[in-house]
Amino acid sequence: MTEALLRTFAPQTDPIKDKVVLITGGTGSFGKRMVQTLLTRYAPKKVIIFSRDELKQYEMRAELEAQFPPDLLARLRFFIGDVRDRQRLVMAFRGADIVIHGAALKQVPAAEYNPSECIATNINGAENVVWACLQNGVQKVVALSTDKACSPVNLYGATKLASDKIFSAANNLSGDIGTRFSVVRYGNVVGSRGSVVPFFQKLIKQGASELPITDPRMTRFWISLSQGVNFVLSSLEIMRGGEVFVPKIPATLVTDLATAMAPDLNQKIIGIRPGEKLHEAMISADDARTTWELEDRYLIEPILYEYPRAKVETLKGVRKVEEGFAYASDLNTERLDAEGIRRLMPAYLE
C-alpha cells in the first residue's frame, strides 16, 4: 500500500532535452521545485522563469546560485511580467518550445472577495497564454489546474474550470502551427504556500494548545511537490493535446492529518469557510464517459477536440472507466490514517 501511495510519476524519457522551457508563476512553490528538478535531472537548453514579483525573482536567483554551478545557472533567464499583459507574454514566449502555465490567483477567500481580479488572472490570463503560445509556435503547453475545478462551488474553482476549457479548446485553434495544449489537475500540495500543513506546523511551533479543524468529516487529496513536478513532466511525455491528466494520489481525513502532526493537541471545530467543500473531487460522474484509467493516472478526453483515441489505447495499462465512475477524496480507496500519514509525511515534505 505504501508503495502505491508513493507513486513517483517520473517520466520514462527526458521530455525537455535541448528544449527551451518557460514557466509562468515560476517563483511559486511549484516553479521553484520544477526549476531545481530540471537543472538537477534533465538537460534543458534554457529555462525561463516568468513572474511579476521582482523580489521573489531576486530571492530565487540567490537560492539557485547557492545550489548550482555557473554552467547550469547560465541556462536560466528571469523575465518580469504578468499573464494579464498579452504583449509582454508574446515577447517572453519567443523561442520557447514548452510552456508550463502555473501562474494563478489561488486563495479561495480572496477570490470570493475580489472576483474581478481572480477572473483577470485565471481566465483572461489563460487566454493570453494561449494567444502568446500560438503567436510564437510553442510546441507543447501544460496548464496546472486544481481539484476545485471539478464541479466548482467557489469562484477560484470556476475560474480554473474556465481555464481548463480554454486550454483544451485551444487545440482547435492551432491548425498548421501545431501547438498542443493539455491540463494537469491534482489536489493539495503538501508543504506549498497556503497548504494546511505549514499552517499546522506554524501553530505547533508557536506552542498552540489546539489545532483548528473546519469539519471533522472533511477529506482532501494530497500530493508532494516532487510528485507534482514529475506528474507534469510525464504528462508532457505522453500528451496528444486536449487531455486533462489526473494522478492517482491518496486522500486523508483532515482530522487524521492533524492527529499525525500533533497527537497530543486538541482539535477545535471552527466550521467550513465560505466557498469550501467538505470533500474534493477531481473527476465527476459526468466526466466518466470520456475518462480512461492508466496505471498511475486518469486521462479525461476533450469534448470538442478530435482526440486521437487510437493512440490512447496503446498506452500501458489503459482501460475505459465504468459508467458513473467518480474520483473524489471521500470515495478514494487509497486512504491514509494518522499512522500512515506519519510514515509518509517525511517523503511528502522532501
Residue 42: give its domain's CATH number: 3.40.50.720
Query: In the structure grid, which three cell numbers stand for residue 307, read together?
Result: 482526440
Whole-number CA gyration radius for the chain: 20
Amino acid at 43: A
Q: How confident is the model at residue 2 (pLDDT cuts 50, 70, 90)?
A: low
Structure-model confidence comparison of residues 168 and 311, the more confident one: 168
Structure-model confidence comparison of residues 256 and 193, the more confident one: 256
At residue 290, the pLDDT reads: 92
Stretch 322-330: mean pLDDT: 95
At residue 350, the pLDDT reads: 53
Q: Is residue 136 part of a domain?
A: yes
At residue 341, the pLDDT reads: 81
Cα–Cα distance, 118 to 162 (Å, whole number) = 12
Model confidence, pTM: 0.93
Stretch 276-283: mean pLDDT: 93
Stretch 55-77: mean pLDDT: 97
Which residue from 130, 136, 165 is spatially nearest to 150, judged by alpha carbons?
165
Q: Is the pLDDT of residue 4 over 60?
A: no
Q: Is the pLDDT of residue 183 over 90?
A: yes
Q: Is residue 244 part of a domain?
A: yes
Cα–Cα distance, 147 to 161 (Å, whole number) = 10
Q: Is residue 314 part of a domain?
A: yes
Contacts of 64 (CB under 8 A, 6+ apart): 35, 36, 39, 73, 76
Q: Is residue 150 part of a domain?
A: yes
Containing domain of residue 85, as a range?
16-186+224-248+284-327
Q: How confident is the model at residue 253 (pLDDT cuts 50, 70, 90)?
A: very high
Stretch 182-208: mean pLDDT: 85
The residues annotated as belonging to the active site are 148
Q: Is the pLDDT of residue 243 over 80?
A: yes
Q: How confident is the model at residue 315 (pLDDT cuts 50, 70, 90)?
A: confident
Q: Is residue 347 part of a domain?
A: no
Q: Is the pLDDT of residue 343 over 90?
A: no
Q: Is residue 61 part of a domain?
A: yes
Contacts of 306 (CB under 8 A, 6+ apart): none
Q: Is residue 211 part of a domain?
A: no
141: Cα within 13 Å, side-chain hemisphere: 33
Q: How confident is the model at residue 191 (pLDDT cuts 50, 70, 90)?
A: low
Q: Is residue 258 part of a domain?
A: no
Q: Is the pLDDT of residue 105 over 90?
A: yes
DSSP state of 337: -
Q: Is the pLDDT of residue 346 over 80?
A: no
303: Cα within 13 Å, side-chain hemisphere: 8
Stretch 158-163: mean pLDDT: 98
Mean of pLDDT over the chain: 91
Structure-model confidence comparison of residues 208 and 99, the more confident one: 99
Structure-model confidence comparison of residues 4 and 169, the more confident one: 169
Q: Is the pLDDT of residue 70 over 70?
A: yes
Other Cβ atoms within 10 Å of 337 Cβ, number: 12
Q: Is the pLDDT of residue 113 over 90?
A: yes
Stretch 65-94: mean pLDDT: 97
Structure-model confidence comparison of residues 333 and 91, the more confident one: 91
Q: Is the pLDDT of residue 255 over 70?
A: yes
Q: Is the pLDDT of residue 309 over 70?
A: no
Cα–Cα distance, 349 to 91 (Å, whole number) = 36
- 140 close to 179: Cβ distance less than 8 angstroms: yes
For the chain, where are the E strands, in sequence order? 20-24, 46-51, 76-80, 98-101, 140-144, 180-184, 188-189, 210-213, 219-223, 244-247, 251-253, 266-269, 281-283, 291-293, 297-300, 319-320, 327-328, 335-336
Q: How many domains is the chain partitioned into structurally?
A: 1
